[in-house]
Amino acid sequence: MNPLKIITSFPKITVVFGILFLFVGKIHFSFSQTPLEQKPVQSIRVIGVEKIPIKKIQKLLAGFQTPVFWKFWQSPPIYSQKKLDNIIEAIQQLYRQNGYYKTRLIPEVILEGGGAKILLKIKEGKPVKIQSLRYEIQDPKGERWEDTFQELVELYPGSIFRIVDYEKSKTKILEYLANNGYPRAKLTGKVTVYEKNNRATILFTIDPGQFTRFGEIHLEGNKIIDSKIIFREITFTKDEPFSLAKVFQSQGNIFKLNFFRSVLVNPINLAKGEGPIDVRITLQERKPRTIETGLGYGTEDNLRFRLSGIYRNFLGRAREIRFALKLSSLIEEQNLSFKQPYFPDSTSALRLKLTRKKDKFVSFNTLNISNETRLEKKFTPIFSSYLAHRLDSSKIYSISEATEKKLDFQQEKIYFLSYLQIGLLFNTSDSELNPTIGNKFSLFFEPSFKTIGSEISYIKGSIEYKNYSPLLKGVLLASRLTIGTIQPFGINERTIPLFKRFFSGGTYSVRGYSYQELGPKDESGKPVGGNSLIEGNIELRIPIKGRIWNVIFLDFGKVSLESGRYSINNWRYSVGTGIRYDTIVGPLRLDYGYLLNPDDFIKKRYRIHLNIGQAF
């Protein structure tokens, strides 16, 4: 039983007068103190915590936590010895799971002002460390696996014995065997803890079972989609060594076809002790034709509206046709696209796209009609590329005289461009909407030549790198760096159209500026863009509670009239903070950015941005 110390505040003078009154007999006085079990909890505090994250301890105190000040309608919890004992036991169990078997908790309950204040003093003690880890593998050639298992597990002599590491190690060993032809393997673990000496020994007994191969593959539920399309996405074949990882990968590949509402891939005779394992794939098809709509809002483009129609499996063989309409205060876009998968092989796809788009920029407007032919290839799950050719007819209008004068050549006209686009993409992040770990790297290259029918010749390129690194206590460090340039050449060396130039500033770049506000400007203060760009962001994303996050950021950027100019001179910086609220369509984002060194045309040094989705 844990020692319990109760301290009662009761003035001595009250006791003296009470006794006198009873002896005199002139006043009849009766006093009854409220039982401890009925007193409200005013506060609960823990001291002495060093080896366990305090947030984990605080979660276990929820039964005695008083309501936050703004929830004034909620009553405070009532003290209960049983509830306190349960909390103490839960904290001790948490310490045992993390290797601290001699942790002691000393509670004190202080009665003041009609309530109970609880103080928990924790003496953590020394941790239990692993003395030895042994394997008993029931296979004549089992020794071949010991080195592999030792690389997989998170247990080694001298480390603190933690239950979570122990369970993860067992799971990793079984996963390795299941992915290498032994899905029926069995593993039992035995841990002996010597609390007196603070040491533990671990024994893993492993029965790999018989080597197993894939059996028959059965499809169910595909009525419209041809079975050949589905089998192209299955990463295993009959009679090859069984791999559970390939089962999951095949499930993901089939679902990404976008033809099915649900995809279940189940080994159906795994429980049998021997023989090949058959696989049943159960599918639920989506409707071949669907219409989708979306509505959003951002401080730059205001109200956004999207309408799209999809025709899946058009003329069979997984072909797809899409129509999309996008409207906002900045763009008006309609496009029609056609996708032919498995061209020329199973890892490639051909896309054809017709687009009409009107863009409203700060200092000019454009009307663009384009035709794109794109070949996409996925080399690995994290590495892909594309090669495209585009024919554009682009009209620039609503340009001020000051902008024309600044650039010193005619811009308001129709341009006919023919150019290539080449892209490489690496993506190891865990999410497209809200990544929390990993990297994204993209390389973009756009050459335009008169020899392929373009009105002007130039080479445009950019590199972008994004990193997402978890830090302590759930904090995330996110960063981004973008570098781009465009180099004109040939007879019309200076005539790079405005819509091909680089602009910066706004909710997705340097947040102290408004949309396209960073960079060279004409005499009236309107941006004219430049031939080179550098942008960067560093952001700390700090969890507050539940889905709410706080963000602190530093942004920087520069746009230069000259090609390939990135010197640190005249870089513009902004700092700020923001709030994120996670939703199923991405974080709802509110940012406040403040300029540290604005240029001469800037009248307001701060900007507020409201949007959906992370800034990068």
Kindly report, residue by residue over 108-117, the tens digit of the pLDDT: 998 877 788 9
> Terminal CA-to-CA distance of the chain, rounded, Å?
54
Q: What is the residue range of 300's domain?
A: 290-360
pLDDT at 361 over 70: yes
Give the DSSP H or E segment for 465.
strand 457-470
Whether residue 443 sits in one domain with residue 584: yes
- What is the predicted pLDDT for the residue at 15? 39
Helix axis angle for 143-152 and 163-178, nearest 10°, is: 130
Whether residue 162 sits in one domain with residue 117: no
Question: What is the tally of structural domains in the chain?
Answer: 5
Last-in-domain residue among 189, 207, 225:
207
Check if the beta carbon of residue 91 is closer than 8 Å to that of residue 105: yes
Check if the beta carbon of residue 60 is closer than 8 Å to that of residue 90: yes
> pTM of the predicted model, to two decimals?
0.74
Place of tokens 């003035």: 11
Whether residue 237 sits in one domain with residue 147: no
The 3-state DSSP class for residue 423 equals strand
Last-in-domain residue among 90, 123, 156:
123
Encode 417-431: b = buried (16+ Cβ within 10 Å), e = exposed: bbbebebebbbebee
Residue pLDDT, tens place only, 50-72: 999 888 998 899 888 777 666 66
Report if residue 373 sits inside a domain.
no
Whether residue 148 sits in one domain with residue 68: no
Check if the beta carbon of residue 27 is closer than 8 Å to that of residue 18: no
- What is the predicted pLDDT for the residue at 231? 93
Query: How many of the other CB atoms lie within 10 Å of CB of 473?
Result: 10
- Beta strand 320-327 pairing with 302-312: antiparallel
What is the C-alpha separation between 588 and 600, in angstroms, rounded? Answer: 33
pLDDT at 409 over 90: no
Q: How far is CA 315 from the centre of its chain?
A: 37
The 3-state DSSP class for residue 154 equals coil
- What is the predicted pLDDT for the residue at 493? 57
pLDDT at 338 over 60: yes
Whether residue 388 sits in one domain with residue 303: no
List CB contacts of 57: < 8 A, sequence separation 6 or more: 46, 49, 91, 94
Q: Which amino acid is at 103?
A: T
Whether residue 221 sits in one domain with residue 203: no
What is the C-alpha separation between 86 and 107, in angstroms, rounded? Answer: 12
Report if residue 365 sits inside a domain.
no
Report if residue 370 sits inside a domain.
no
Report if residue 368 sits inside a domain.
no
Last-in-domain residue among 153, 181, 207:
207
Whether residue 313 sits in one domain with residue 354: yes
Whether residue 303 sits in one domain with residue 269: no
Place of tokens 């499930």: 251
What is the C-alpha separation between 228 and 233, in angstroms, rounded? Answer: 9
Report if residue 493 sits inside a domain.
yes
Report if residue 153 sits inside a domain.
yes
**CATH number reported for the structural domain that contains residue 481 in this entry:** 2.40.160.50
Whether residue 259 sits in one domain with residue 197: no
Whether residue 311 sits in one domain with residue 274: no
Q: Which amino acid is at 353?
A: K
Give the DSSP H or E segment for 152.
helix 143-152
Residue pLDDT, tens place only, 568-591: 988 999 999 999 999 988 899 999
- What is the predicted pLDDT for the residue at 466? 98
Whether residue 405 sits in one domain with residue 548: yes
Phi-psi domain of 363 (left: phi exceeds 0; alpha: psi -120 through 50; beta: other): alpha
Check if the beta carbon of residue 324 is closer than 8 Å to that of residue 307: yes
Residue of 184, 128, 136, 175 whose CA lies nearest to 152: 175
Report if residue 366 sits inside a domain.
no
419-432 average pLDDT score: 96
Residues facing residue 206 across a β-bridge: 137, 187
Q: Give the percent of the chain with pLDDT over 90.
A: 69
Average pLDDT, the chain: 89
Report if residue 97 sits inside a domain.
yes
User: In 375-494, which residue ranges form alpha helices assigned H by DSSP?
Assistant: 401-407
Whether residue 194 sits in one domain with residue 220: no
- What is the predicted pLDDT for the residue at 453? 92
Query: Cis omega (within 30 of 0) on the bond before 381?
Result: no
Compute the CA torsion angle 400, 405, 409, 415 (nearest 10 deg). -10
Residue pLDDT, tens place only, 199-239: 999 999 999 999 999 999 999 999 889 999 999 999 999 99
What is the C-alpha separation between 325 and 274, in angstroms, rounded? Answer: 56
14-24 average pLDDT score: 37
Q: For residue 238, what are its two tokens? A: 């009959």
What is the C-alpha separation between 341 and 320, in angstroms, rounded? Answer: 9
**CATH number reported for the structural domain that contains residue 247 in this entry:** 3.10.20.310
What is the C-alpha separation between 221 and 497, in angstroms, rounded? Answer: 53
